[in-house]
Chains A and B, each alone.
Chain A
Amino acid sequence: MHTSPPRVILLHLAFTLLIFCSAGCDFIDYHPYAGNLEFKNLTAQNVAKIKALEEKYASQPSFQIAFISDTQGFFEETADMVKDVNRRNVAFVLHGGDLTNYAFTDEFERMHRALAKLQAPYVTVIGNHDCLGDGDKIYLKMYGPLDHSFTFLQNKFILLNTNYLEFFDGSVPDVNWLERELQNAPANVVNTFVLSHIAPHNFEANPNKKQAVADLMRKYDVRLSLHGHTHGYRDEQPFDDGIRYVSAASANKRSYVLITVTGDQATYQKIDF
């Protein structure tokens, strides 16, 4: 009985591949920050799905948004949160950043697989952990621009990168871009929401731009300023100017925020799951 030599090696390889493929076949990792991404342009795809819902919601008096944040590594709780959100009739989901702990490619992809179980489309803003290593470049390709905006009916959503310490050159947050976005809102917009990972009054935000951001929020009468990062639910009015700053808890605290938009009003409540 003679077995040709390469066959021995092929059998060995096939056996190892078999073990791995039974576990999902996602087993070759070149580097923690490898750029060979499975998913690309998720923000544009999900915004397109949200825009497609406008027709359905145009005739309804109100709609709801689930605002979740800081799901980094909390896969068990995120799965429960996704189930809870799916039980409600939300138009879409906003994610306040920190999808990952270390911004590894594999972490981004596993978190997307968990969030893709949401029945509603989700849109994210980048968190400080997502910027680590090559994370900001992975995020840019996998999700989209770090500063971006979209409209839904008479509402504008502005998503702003506020991870000042990771881009430590003073350029973050881009206040000029924020002002242009606030200024250039379509005429029919009655509510503006600004979503950023780190709130301007947080001690880890850019101290040189704290007042500029707060002034813009007041000047353009932003309906809600939405944040993550602190891992706890917060409902604050830090600048005493009538503008509310609402922070969603991290997924492991087993709560998120449900926002109801009716005309030019937005109400919100903490949902425990």
Chain B
Amino acid sequence: MKTPATLFFIALSLLFPLLTNAQDSPVKADRPKNSWYAPDYVVMQHAGLIGILAAGVGYDFGRHDRTNAEFLYGFTPNYGIKHTNHTFTSRIYYQSHPKPLYGDYKISWLKTGLGISMTIGGQFETFFPKHYPEGYYIWPTATRLLPFVGSSIGREFTGKKRPLFAEFYTEIGTADVLVVDKMRNKGISVPDILNLALGLRLKL
């Protein structure tokens, strides 16, 4: 019962991936997924207000797996003056499609997203106790919103050896209240509120 027109469209749709493959290689194909609950990759990060070293797991999803969600635990040493800080961070970000750079290496020029961190400990407040007058402090000390932009360089590995891909990234980030303070006072420069983070992602 097929009309020539539908046959034409079926043929075109079958051909289309081959045609695009010819120019764009199979890189835009989504990677084979693990079970829905199994993490797609592990991630480690240095600095970025979430710990001297943070590590965790990540999931990629969305169109061509360019959207990522990560859950990290990070610690910051006490330097002999206080308790070690334990910080739990969730991050969600979009990463641009990797473009060839050198050899097997590809670069994602832009990754941008938002993290929310929570540092545990009695000295950190999410909601201030009732003994403070109303509005005495507005911003929690335990939780920070951490917007960031960055870029990454990585490569995929052929074969069955793990990791299946490795990626190194750098991010420039800031924090909610630092942006508020910068907007309130001209004496605060943009570099004053920015910080740098370095990280590594590995698909196992």
Contacts and interface: CB of A to CB of B under 8 A. Distances in A.
Contact of B188 (A3, A16, A73, A203): A73
Given A12-B170, A204-B133, A75 B188 contact: yes
A5 B191 CA distance: 31
A49 B82 CA distance: 28
A34 B48 CA distance: 11
Provide the main secondary structure of the chain B interface: loop
A13 to B, nearest CB: 7
A110 B182 CA distance: 13
A29 B49 contact: yes
Given A5-B103, A12-B170, A16-B196, A35 B188 contact: no
A137 interface: yes
Interface in A96-138: 101-103, 110, 114, 132-134, 137-138
Contact of A133 (B123, B168, B191): B123
B77 to A, nearest CB: 7
B180 to A, nearest CB: 9
A147 interface: no
A133 B188 contact: no
Contacts, number: 134
Contact of A137 (B82, B168, B187): B82
Chain A interface bracket (under 10, 10 to 19, 20 to 34, 35 or more):
35 or more
A211 interface: no
A61 interface: no
Interface in A1-60: 2-3, 5, 8-9, 12-13, 16-17, 20, 23-24, 27-37
A76 interface: yes
B57 to A, nearest CB: 21
A141 interface: yes
A5 B81 CA distance: 41
Interface of A: 2-3, 5, 8-9, 12-13, 16-17, 20, 23-24, 27-37, 73-79, 101-103, 110, 114, 132-134, 137-138, 140-141, 165, 168, 203-204
